[in-house]
Chains A and B, each alone.
Chain A
Amino acid sequence: MSTEFNLVSELHDKSLVIKTEGYINSAGGEKIVHEFSKHSDINKLILNLENSKVVNSIGISHLIEIIEKLNQSNGKLVFTNLDPTIEKTFSIMGLFQFADKADTVESALKG
């Protein structure tokens, strides 16, 4: 894992896929929020965390912010390719009450 947090995004109709790489901390969380904010007309955000194995609670708070914004407009956040440790962390922090998870981006796009 490199020092810098990076992400790439792709728009599929009204679904935005963001793939992250690196530590999702405060800076990483802010970058995700910023990328999400650039697309106002989406109803699904798919967050592919395949290359992010570590997240802290500041990063999680940014993700919660995105979840709340999406829920307001009946949108959904779907996490994919979750590391088991991160999946457990999200589960404990209650993220899956308001967001979904899927094994792959493809299944998240179909669902």
Chain B
Amino acid sequence: MDNNNLVEKLAVQVESFQEGFEILSKSLTFIEMVKSFLHIIRGNFIITEIYSFHKLASDSKWNNISLKKIPDQSYLSCLVDSDNPSIKYFEDLQIKVSINLPLADKSYLGILIGPKFDKSKFTDLDKITLQILLQVFDSAFKSFLNRQKEKALVFELNEKVLHLNNLIDTGIEISRYNKRRVLYDIALERITSLTNASSALIEIVKKSQGIVKKYITFPTGVEPDKILNSKLKIHSSFEHQDRSYTFVLSEKETRHSTTSFTELDQMLLDSISRQVSVSLENEYLHKQALEKEKIEQELNVAASIQQKILPESLPEIKGYDLAGINIPSREVGGDYYDCFDLSKGKFALIIADVAGKGIGAALLVSTLNAALNSYLQFDIPLTEMAERLNKLIYKSSPSDKYITFFIAVLDSISGELDIVNAGHNPIFLLRKDGNMEKLDAGGVGLGMLDFGLPFEGQKIVMNSGDKLFLYTDGIPEAMNDKEEEYSDEEMINFLKTNSEKSSIDFIDSLVKSVKDFAGSAQQSDDITALMLKRN
């Protein structure tokens, strides 16, 4: 065939070459591409017998990737092992053409072509056509590889965006849940998905006991040992309160098997682990804050109850100088004092201290105040009143709450004091001559016991110049920064050396003395005092 004829015929075939390239380019897989290529060759040369082979490297074995088996193993000897592309033609063999095509990914494609249907030889045109078709295949394969790389790059990029997005979303979602089981499940699901792990678990150990409290796995139902015994695993741990938490991921998946986790996977795991740790800490702090708020609310209520009960002012007692003070501590302490006008010149001076703090203590003081208001209307002997109060307080309060109580009913005309001290600090009567008497007759604190034990009363007369000093233990037990107490001795000494002052001046300077002693130390208990002087 002369060259012009050849060129003319090839020109006609250009469109079919282009078509061939398009068909090959649309292939999604290498095998599909080879299959399409064999169809093209079959169609171009009317071939019935055609086989394809592939090897990954020049020294690898050829793999038959044809749809059918080769009928004769001797065909394989026609395959060319070479690093260079080659087309060999055979006249005497069943196989007429052997192609060796090195590909762009360093693998090799081998093709064996049988005789044409009409048994004719391969012409020059056929040979050139075949050459061109191989080049078309090579180009299409390069394009296929580029597309695969591009797809892989896009996939990888999207995966990175997904990682970032998931990390942020997971952080937000984890912080939302205060139910721990939900928190753990979400963290496990997310980290497993992010890192392509097959499975994951959280191991929770109680530190003090060294015992594993529990395992939580994803997917649920996976045996923890399967994950812990895996050779391909990573972990991340943190501690919170008295527990240690360990995240373990196992068996990172690929399309075809499993592989080791990467540094990025470790970073992602550490990040999720930290987020869970922060979430647990936030949950703990939130509970603390709620508890604190509840306590503060309680104390506010208690403080307002207490303030309503304490007297705004004390009655004037003719012939006497009376003053009192209550300085509550930061925490409501349940101190109580009052002076009731019982008419006919009689007055009841009361001081009390409730054991315990908060609403419970404040309510108990309120109960005491209400009961006193009631009982003092009647002329009941103090000892009997104390017994009734004891029963009432005992019934009204839990076992750890009781009231130390001192009552002195003053007959302002005679100066007689009718006294009961129920478990309170000894009260001091400082005589004009400087003699100090302790008034502590009575019984146990109100509400402490209900064995029907009688309370003991005492009667004593207050003369002109005598001073009756009532106080709660917030004064002698006031502490400074060195944890030293103000002490009973100091208080008694102060009483002796300052008793000539007016009652209000005495109270004010006593408070100043206590505060100067305490310095910057926080006041831990109420400071309550009453001073009664007979003029």
Contact = CB atoms under 8 A, between A and B. Distances in A.
Interface in A43-70: 53-58, 61, 64-65, 68-69
Contact of A68 (B28, B193, B218, B254): B28
Contacts of B198: 25-26
Given A56-B253, A69-B28, A85-B169, A93 B159 contact: yes
A26 B195 CA distance: 12
Contacts of A23: 192, 218-219
B219 A93 contact: no
Contacts of A54: 189, 192-193, 218
A13 to B, nearest CB: 26
Given A56-B253, A61-B255, A3 B222 contact: yes
B154 interface: yes
B154 A94 contact: yes
B162 interface: yes
A43 to B, nearest CB: 17
A79 B248 CA distance: 32
Contacts of B155: 57, 61, 64, 93
B121 interface: no
A77 B96 CA distance: 45
A81 interface: no
Interface in B208-237: 218-222
Contacts of A89: 162, 166, 193
B35 to A, nearest CB: 14
B165 interface: yes
B357 to A, nearest CB: 49
Given A54-B189, A55-B193, A69-B28, A26 B158 contact: no
A70 B28 CA distance: 11
Contacts of B196: 25-26, 56-58
Contacts of B501: none
A34 interface: no
B267 interface: no
Interface in B111-164: 154-155, 158-159, 161-162
A20 to B, nearest CB: 13
A64 to B, nearest CB: 8
A58 B189 CA distance: 15
Interface in B8-46: 26, 28
B219 A2 contact: yes
A53 B26 CA distance: 34
B169 A88 contact: yes
Contact of A57 (B154, B159, B169): B159
Contact of A1 (B159, B194, B220): B220
17 contacts: A1-B220, A3-B219, A3-B221, A25-B198, A25-B253, A26-B254, A54-B189, A55-B193, A56-B193, A58-B196, A64-B155, A72-B26, A72-B28, A92-B165, A93-B159, A93-B162, A94-B158
Interface of A: 1-3, 22-23, 25-26, 53-58, 61, 64-65, 68-69, 72, 85, 88-89, 92-94
Can you list the 9 inter-chain pairs with the closest CB atoms, starting with the nearest?
A3-B221, A26-B253, A56-B196, A54-B189, A58-B253, A92-B162, A93-B158, A56-B193, A3-B219
Given A69-B28, A94-B154, 10 more contacts: A3-B222, A23-B192, A26-B196, A26-B253, A56-B196, A57-B159, A58-B253, A61-B155, A64-B155, A92-B161
Interface of B: 26, 28, 154-155, 158-159, 161-162, 165-166, 169, 189, 192-198, 218-222, 253-255
